[in-house]
């Protein structure tokens, strides 16, 4: 092990020890002299990143943290269809263009999220799909958007959240407007259209609810494997499974064996496994900040250690970088359970939390 790696691991180990105390004060001391996640990830061959919006550009402290910690970004909503094509044939790429330009100016990769989803669709498209659906409404959109960013977006979430066993179908697919419009073939259509538009982009099926143990967890995992295996058998150009990783230690705890078995099945299909939207929700009442932070760090480390042990992961992105800008702050649950969520690696002042150290310690161990 080289000196740089030794110094890194020893400072992170100390941070790990600090977890057992109140942790925060010592961790903040260490953070002043630790390498960044971007440095650590590069050393282990990963890209590390977060979801971004152009409105964050105004926040100097936040943007310094993004430049320091990230080698990849994804648009939190500005590359979704309701923003890109607000009315049929009228496109607005301004937000996505600015984010892609920021990424490349800062030598970062850019993830495209997402081309086909049951949510975030403009009203005109929902009406068209429910009335007289046109395949062009799917394939031509993908050709235009993926073609525009050809060579500048390294991976695309082509289809997002196509599984939902709670809808009761034997194949576990979600009863979405896309399924109703085109049947199950919409998924293959989307991936073929994306591959034709950018043959070099990594094409990802992105989903949630497969990380933990909960009522529909087994069905979600088995339906996902069945769908991905079918796509591979039909020669569909799919390269990776995107695990959103909105972790929930209270209601959907991780069983390492269950998670490892699921991921091994995905790896056996010849697919990579990307971590695309990592955060840890904890609305549990009565927990101190220190306890919430400890649980979030332990949950993060448990999850990443299992995922990275498969050695087929290239990128790990959190859904936001700082608690200041988490979608969970808008969650209807947050005020109800009291307190502001703390789901991300940096706090409101961009100070590294125990979750930051958990990520750093997981990615510091080269498993690629
Ligand atoms: O604030 C802008 C407004 O200025 C603008 O005029 C308007 C145009 O539509 O958009 C407004 O922003 C809204 C944004 O939330 C505010 O943060 C977007 O409309 C709205 O789409 C966006 O919601 C996003 C949601 O996906 C739906 O797109 C959330 O930010 C985002 O965190 C959430 O992310 C999803 C992933 O895509 C998929 N996985 C789950 C994850 C969390 O729900």
Statement: residue 33 has pLDDT above 60: no
Q: How confident is the model at residue 284 (pLDDT cuts 50, 70, 90)?
A: confident
Statement: residue 265 has pLDDT above 50: yes
State the pLDDT at residue 283.
74
The contacts of residue 262 (CB under 8 Å, 6+ apart) are: 210, 221, 224, 225
Average pLDDT score, the chain: 90
| Mean pLDDT of the 271-286 span | 90
- Hey, which of 77, 243, 274, 344 would you mutate to test ligand 1's pocket, going by the most ligand atoms within 8 Å of its Cβ? 77
| Mean pLDDT of the 25-37 span | 58
Active site residue 277: yes
Q: How confident is the model at residue 197 (pLDDT cuts 50, 70, 90)?
A: very high
Q: Is 276 in the pocket of ligand 1 (CB under 6 A)?
A: no
Ligand 1, atom 1: closest residue by C-alpha: 55
Ligand 1, atom 43: closest residue by C-alpha: 327
CB contact at 8 A, 108 and 317: no
| Mean pLDDT of the 205-220 span | 98
Statement: residue 321 has pLDDT above 70: yes
Ligand 1, atom 5: closest residue by C-alpha: 83
Q: Is 77 in the pocket of ligand 1 (CB under 6 A)?
A: yes
State the pLDDT at residue 28.
47
Q: How confident is the model at residue 341 (pLDDT cuts 50, 70, 90)?
A: confident
Active site residue 140: no
Query: Mind listing the pLDDT tens digit for each residue in 127-173?
Result: 999 999 999 999 999 999 999 999 999 999 999 999 999 999 999 99
Ligand 1, atom 23: closest residue by C-alpha: 77
Asked whether the bond before 298 is cis by omega within 30 degrees of 0, the reply is: no
Find the catalytic residue in 85, 161, 211, 315: 161
Ligand 1 atom closest to Cα of residue 330? 17
The mean-pLDDT minimum among 67-76, 198-207, 341-350 falls in 341-350
State the pLDDT at residue 288.
83
The contacts of residue 158 (CB under 8 Å, 6+ apart) are: 114, 115, 116, 142, 190, 191, 194, 203, 204, 205, 238
The contacts of residue 20 (CB under 8 Å, 6+ apart) are: none
CB contact at 8 A, 43 and 361: no
Ligand 1, atom 11: closest residue by C-alpha: 77
CB contact at 8 A, 240 and 271: yes
Q: What is the rounded CA–CA span in Å between residue 315 and residue 83? A: 25
Between the alpha carbon of residue 289 and those of residues 18, 140, 342, the distances in Å are: 15, 48, 8
SS (H, E, C) the chain: CCHHHHHHHHHHHHHHHHHHCCCHHHHHHHHCCCCCHHHHHHHHCCEEEEEECHHHHHCHHHHHHHHHHCCEEEECCCCCHHHHCCECCECCCHHHHHHHHHHHHCCCEEEEEEEECCCCCCHHHHHHHHCCCCCHHHHHHHHHHHHHCCCCCCEEEEEECCECHHHCCCCCECCCHHHHHHCCHHHHHHHHHHHHHCCCCEEEEEECCCCCCCCCHHHHHHHHHHHHHHHHHCCCCCCEEEECCEEECCCECCCHHHHHHHHHHHHHCCCEEEEEEEEECCCCCCCCHHHHHHHHHHHHHHHHHHHHHCCCCCEEEECCCEHHHCHHHHCCHHHHHCCCCCCCCECCCCCECHHHHHHHHHHHCCCC
Name the percent of the chain lying above pLDDT 70: 87
> The whole model's pTM is what?
0.92
Distance 76 CA to ligand 1 centre (A): 7
Q: How confident is the model at residue 8 (pLDDT cuts 50, 70, 90)?
A: low
The mean-pLDDT minimum among 167-181, 246-260, 273-287 falls in 273-287
Name the nearest CA neighbour of 207 among 125, 130, 118: 118
Ligand 1 atom closest to Cα of residue 77? 28
Distance 118 CA to ligand 1 centre (A): 14
């Amino acid at each position: 092990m080289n000196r740089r790696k030794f110094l890194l691991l020893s400072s992170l180990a100390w941070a790990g020890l600090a977890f057992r105390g109140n942790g925060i004060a010592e961790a903040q001391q260490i953070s002043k002299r630790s390498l960044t996640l971007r440095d650590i990830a590069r050393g282990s061959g990963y890209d590390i990143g977060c979801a971004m919006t152009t409105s964050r550009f105004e926040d100097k402290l936040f943007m310094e943290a993004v430049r320091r910690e990230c080698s990849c970004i994804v648009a939190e909503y500005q590359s979704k269809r309701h923003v890109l094509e607000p009315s049929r044939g009228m496109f607005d790429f301004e937000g996505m263009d600015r984010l892609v330009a920021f990424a490349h100016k800062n030598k970062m990769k850019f993830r495209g999220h997402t081309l086909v989803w049951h949510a975030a669709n403009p009203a005109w498209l929902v009406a068209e799909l429910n009335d007289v659906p046109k395949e062009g409404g799917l394939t031509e959109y993908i050709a235009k958007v993926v073609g525009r960013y050809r060579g500048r977006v390294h991976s695309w979430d082509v289809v997002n959240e196509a599984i939902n066993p709670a809808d009761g179908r034997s194949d576990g697919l979600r009863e979405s407007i896309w399924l109703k419009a085109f049947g199950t073939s919409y998924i293959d259509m989307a991936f073929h259209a994306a591959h034709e538009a950018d043959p070099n982009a990594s094409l990802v099926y992105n989903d949630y609810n497969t990380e933990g143990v909960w009522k529909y967890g087994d069905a979600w995992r088995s339906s996902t494997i069945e769908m991905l295996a079918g796509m591979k058998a039909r020669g569909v150009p799919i390269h990776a499974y995107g695990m959103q990783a909105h972790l929930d230690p209270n209601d959907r705890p991780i069983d390492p064996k269950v998670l490892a078995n699921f991921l091994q099945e995905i790896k056996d299909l010849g697919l990579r496994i990307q971590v695309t939207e990592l955060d840890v929700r904890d609305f549990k009442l009565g927990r101190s900040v220190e306890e919430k932070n400890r649980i979030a760090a332990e949950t993060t480390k448990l999850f990443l250690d299992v995922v990275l042990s498969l050695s087929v992961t290239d990128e790990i992105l959190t859904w936001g970088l700082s608690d200041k800008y988490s979608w969970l702050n808008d969650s209807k649950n947050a005020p109800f359970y009291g307190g502001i969520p703390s789901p991300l690696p940096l706090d409101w002042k961009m100070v590294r939390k125990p979750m930051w150290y958990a990520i750093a310690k997981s990615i510091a161990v080269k498993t690629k």
